[in-house]
Structure 1
Amino acid sequence: MKLVDLLDRLDYELYAGELDREISTLTYDSRKVEKDSVFVCISGTVRDAHDFIPDVIEKGATAIIIEKDVEPVDGVTYIKVKNSREALAYTSAAYFGHPAEKLKTIGITGTKGKTTTTYMVKSILDSAGIKTGLIGTIESIVGEERIPAVNTTPESYRVQELFAQMVEAGLDAVVMEVSSQALMLHRVSGFIFDIGVFTNLEPDHIGDNEHKDFEDYMHCKSLLFQQCKTGIFNGDSEHIEGILKGHTCDVIKYGYGKDNDLIAENVELLNEHGALGVRYHITGKEDMTVEVNVPGTFSVYNSLTAVAICKQFNVAEDKIKAALKDVHVKGRIELVPVSKKFTVMIDYAHNAMALESLLTTLKAYEPGRLVCMFGCGGNRAKSRRYEMGEVSSKLADLTVVTSDNPRNEEPMDIINDILIGVKKADGEYVTVPDRKEAIRYCLTNAKEGDIIVLAGKGHEDYQEIKGVKHHMDERELIAEVIKEDGNDII
């Protein structure tokens, strides 16, 4: 590949050297540099890749993209840009042949709802014969291949590489979660989304290494809508005007409010034989009744989003209805069949805000008892333990405190911190440090009409202890308990 072709859509200055040269690979990882590589210098928070320039030249790099002044070396081409992360995104798109232009691209941003909505969209589109890839918090899916995720949104090079693999696999579309960090760090620069989606906005990811304040967080979310053709928005959000600021896309809104394009009416909570769900009617620009097997009114928002997206693909109403009724998302209010007398579910809620939202949602189903089993991770802020303990004790009838990922702490130390919060409210509680035994306690002591939620682990299939990740999947633990104590479970 010619260097000049790699730089085709990039604003840059030729700092030193020649543009007319062949290049082999593109990388921002100095360990992956080889002969004739292009190396992109990322100025990180911990390390500045400009410091590695002598090393990568020694390894064979012949072109280097910089954002700072450096001392040129003869025989090496230096390309200067304003932002090397943005440059990585544009050059990655070129390196992989602009694969986003060969797919229908859907990007979903928001504080909550991204993961569930991506799976809903993929389920509907796949059922309609539109072969769809996925990039998100849990995994990336390329055809039959499932790749565990490291970040909600990967680095731009990896995004483009996944797009290219999807094109190669014959996929038609991709739906992906787009975090505020990804927008801030240009991980999804270098192409235009066909559809951008805003779910909701709450204070989150604000701190020294994330967003300086809520306004910055909201601004970064809004950037998606300066980079998409059609924007689909939760019109009920109090922050909708801030998200729309500077938008360049067509606008479609959904929600309960009468000024939305898709309006949810006549919402019914469904609780049948241990399965929870929701049914509602859509009016406005559509006229259809949908049923979702995921509980809670927030499922109305998630499914409305999915409907709005899939209508852009002209998916038939019956396909949408069937797919929504059968959608499953690992670790996101995931119902696990155990008994028709009570409900068991697994959810990723691992902070107070998420746990409060989850438990409030489940209380609306008026269970006989609401039982919440959870622990907290070690080597993390103690405040989270107090807050989660208090929330569970306030909202759940019974809190079962157990171990999560203790990391380098003693499990009982973490549990004792949680109990400080638990004791601030008046809910009943027990402590069962071993997570499998805690699940056994929940199942063997279940009463008719109970809703039991196992919170905190969600899609994770490991428990981290003293730096080692041990395999542990709550679905497997439930199956083991049923096999061992089935006669004691109604």
Structure 2
Amino acid sequence: MLLSELLRNVEEKRITGFRDVDVSGLAYDSRLLEPGQAFFCIKGLITDGHLYALDAVNKGASVLFVEKEPDDEVCREVPLITVPDNRRALAACSARFYDEPSCEMNLVGVTGTNGKTTTAFLAESVLGESGLVTGLVGTVEKHIAGEVEPVTRTTPESLDLQRLLRRMVDSDVDVAVMEVSSHALELHRVDYCQFDVVVFTNLTQDHLDFHISLEEYFAAKRRLFEEGEFGRHRTALINIDDRFGRTLHEETSLPRISFGIDSRADIRATDVEVLPTGNRFNIRYEDKEIAVRTRLQGRFNVYNCLAAAAVAIGQGIGPESIARGLERLAGVPGRFENIDRGQPFTALVDYAHTPDGIKNLLEACRDVTEGRVIIVVGCGGDRDQSKRPLMGRVGTELSDLCVITSDNPRGEDQEAIIEMILEGIRGRFGPQRYKVEVDRREAIALAVREARPGDLLVVAGKGHESGQIFSDRVIPFDDRKVLGECLSASLHK
């Protein structure tokens, strides 16, 4: 693609040494750059891509996109495109390079603190049940017309995302469902994606290390529901049982459909039964009613089902396909996932890692067991510190035994993180209500030893993740595998 064509979407730019060179590809990591590609100097949280501009030119970069002109004369041997925000420029050029793939299929965006992954899986299941060829971009995995691939982050960088969407179009995908994180919105990863449907699940405290305040966090989410770049013909689907959802429903100028259980929503669940084997409820909208039987447990999954049903209703899919699609999904990896090794109690793994997520998780656990509830939980390092005491308090208050342990400590001291969690516990609960074990494997083993027949044990926080992140390394660690090993060991003693 000629540089002049690549620049069509880039509105603010200053060009130095322009030559209409042929650009063979795009790169934001100099280690992956190939000769002839444009290199984007991205400022990250840890390093700055401008430090690698010379390396990129020496490797054969055909053009440099920068926010500040480099001092090295060698860098001036290629065209320099100076822009105010290179992440936005990368998104613009990526969409252009891959010929705007989101315009060639329907695109559904799901945002919110909790429920994005399960909602996306459910929506894809329902859409697929109707006969559509589907794609999925999410935290756990990505799907392209039935093929499953692993992922590294909730929403990929804009270049990787546009490449993925083009692959979906080339695979004849009719509709793709994408989890859209607040980071992705703030860092312009989904800019120039043309959404047809946008879903708001809920908003509770999380990511305040990045967004500073809950209001700023909400503002990032709200961008998806504002007039402008994310598609001219979007329909907004909003959970109005959530207080931020009600605000969004009142403020957005997009065509909107509400869903909920407790409110008079356009699409609502009635006659809700939360059972150990799953949920039963009816979905009512317009003059129609759908009887739903799902294997997903917990009241929070009723909301996820409603959101997915709203997506399907907006696509004109009939009640029968909606009911079958919701029933077909047996579960999502690392979300209320049952680990059964023949033990006389229930053992689960879940991704809940916010105070509200832990609350919903433990309430769901109470709904499906008459025995005690034991939870293993920690908090990630280099993330929102203000939620740590809240996590400890909620985890202990709503369980019979809370085992505090390490999560992904990253660059922080594990014991210091645990001390902050304990600030929400000490003075409120007796020592019989909680235990501390820094080593996560030992904490899981401890919880298994504490469990009695009929109890429910849940390991929370990491869900589907396959590694534990330290400052200098990532070690293999899958809660599902470790819990299974501890359960098997307990049965063979």
Query: TM-score normalized by structure 2?
Result: 0.85
Residue 142 (str. 1) matches residue 147 (str. 2): no
Offset at residue 70 of structure 1 (A): 6.2
Offset at residue 151 of structure 1 (A): 2.4
Greater mean deviation of Cα atoms: 10-19 or 85-94: 10-19
Match of residue 361 from structure 1: 364
Whether the 8 Å CA contact 2:334–2:480 is kept in 1: the answer is: no
Match of residue 98 from structure 2: 96
Match of residue 220 from structure 2: 220
Offset at residue 464 of structure 1 (A): 5.0
Match of residue 321 from structure 1: 323
Offset at residue 264 of structure 1 (A): 1.6
Which AA in structure 1 matches 2:433?
Answer: E
Whether the 8 Å CA contact 1:222–1:245 is kept in 2: the answer is: no
Structure 1's 318 and 59: CA in aligned 2 closer, same or farther, altered over 3 A?
same
Structure 1's 14 and 455: CA in aligned 2 closer, same or farther, altered over 3 A?
closer
Whether the 8 Å CA contact 1:63–1:78 is kept in 2: the answer is: yes
Inter-partner Cα distance in structure 1 for 2:84 and 2:412: 44
Greater mean deviation of Cα atoms: 36-45 or 237-246: 237-246
Match of residue 280 from structure 1: 281
Residue 291 (str. 1) matches residue 299 (str. 2): no
Choose from 78, 92, 97 the match for 2:80. Answer: 78
Root-mean-square deviation (CA), in Å?
3.4
Choose from 391, 395, 401 the match for 2:394. Answer: 391
Inter-partner Cα distance in structure 2 for 1:114 and 1:467: 30
Which AA in structure 2 matches 1:7?
Answer: L
Inter-partner Cα distance in structure 2 for 1:21 and 1:152: 34
Whether the 8 Å CA contact 1:350–1:456 is kept in 2: the answer is: yes
Match of residue 333 from structure 1: 336
Inter-partner Cα distance in structure 2 for 1:169 and 1:203: 38
Residue 114 (str. 1) matches residue 119 (str. 2): no
Structure 1's 388 and 217: CA in aligned 2 closer, same or farther, altered over 3 A?
closer
Structure 1's 248 and 20: CA in aligned 2 closer, same or farther, altered over 3 A?
farther
Residue 239 (str. 1) matches residue 277 (str. 2): no
Whether the 8 Å CA contact 2:41–2:64 is kept in 1: the answer is: yes
Which AA in structure 1 matches 2:429?
Answer: A
Which structure 2 segments of 5+ residues have no match?
A: none
Whether the 8 Å CA contact 1:140–1:146 is kept in 2: the answer is: yes
Structure 1's 40 and 477: CA in aligned 2 closer, same or farther, altered over 3 A?
closer
Specify the SS of the correspondent of 2:132. Answer: coil
Match of residue 349 from structure 2: 346
Aligned counterparts, 1:174-323, within 5 A: 174-207=176-209, 210-225=210-225, 226=227, 227-228=230-231, 229-240=234-245, 242-244=247-249, 247=252, 249-257=254-262, 259-271=264-276, 275=277, 277-285=278-286, 286-323=288-325
Match of residue 456 from structure 2: 451
Whether the 8 Å CA contact 2:239–2:246 is kept in 1: the answer is: no
Offset at residue 418 of structure 1 (A): 5.7
**CA offsets, 1:87-124, max 9 Å, x none?**
11111012122221222211111111111111111222
Residue 58 (str. 1) matches residue 58 (str. 2): yes
Offset at residue 262 of structure 1 (A): 0.3
Offset at residue 29 of structure 1 (A): 2.3
Whether the 8 Å CA contact 1:461–1:471 is kept in 2: the answer is: yes
Inter-partner Cα distance in structure 2 for 1:384 and 1:258: 28
Specify the SS of the correspondent of 2:220. Answer: helix
Inter-partner Cα distance in structure 2 for 1:51 and 1:468: 24
Greater mean deviation of Cα atoms: 159-168 or 387-396: 387-396
Which AA in structure 1 matches 2:255?
Answer: D
Whether the 8 Å CA contact 2:206–2:387 is kept in 1: the answer is: no
Greater mean deviation of Cα atoms: 463-472 or 288-297: 463-472
Offset at residue 452 of structure 1 (A): 2.0
Whether the 8 Å CA contact 1:203–1:214 is kept in 2: the answer is: yes
Whether the 8 Å CA contact 1:219–1:243 is kept in 2: the answer is: no
Specify the SS of the correspondent of 1:453. Answer: strand
- Aligned pair count reads 482
Whether the 8 Å CA contact 1:375–1:404 is kept in 2: the answer is: yes
Whether the 8 Å CA contact 1:86–1:190 is kept in 2: the answer is: no
Inter-partner Cα distance in structure 2 for 1:378 and 1:248: 38
Greater mean deviation of Cα atoms: 284-293 or 244-253: 244-253
Structure 1's 322 and 392: CA in aligned 2 closer, same or farther, altered over 3 A?
same
Whether the 8 Å CA contact 1:37–1:63 is kept in 2: the answer is: yes
**CA offsets, 1:401-454, max 9 Å, x none?**
455456788978877776675443135345666655655555565445422212
Whether the 8 Å CA contact 1:348–1:457 is kept in 2: the answer is: yes
**CA offsets, 1:214-260, max 9 Å, x none?**
33222221111232421111122322364357745321111135542
Match of residue 31 from structure 2: 31
Offset at residue 268 of structure 1 (A): 1.2
Which structure 1 segments of 5+ residues have no match?
A: none
Whether the 8 Å CA contact 1:392–1:422 is kept in 2: the answer is: no
Which AA in structure 1 matches 2:325?
Answer: A
Structure 1's 148 and 101: CA in aligned 2 closer, same or farther, altered over 3 A?
same
Match of residue 158 from structure 1: 160
Whether the 8 Å CA contact 2:107–2:196 is kept in 1: the answer is: yes
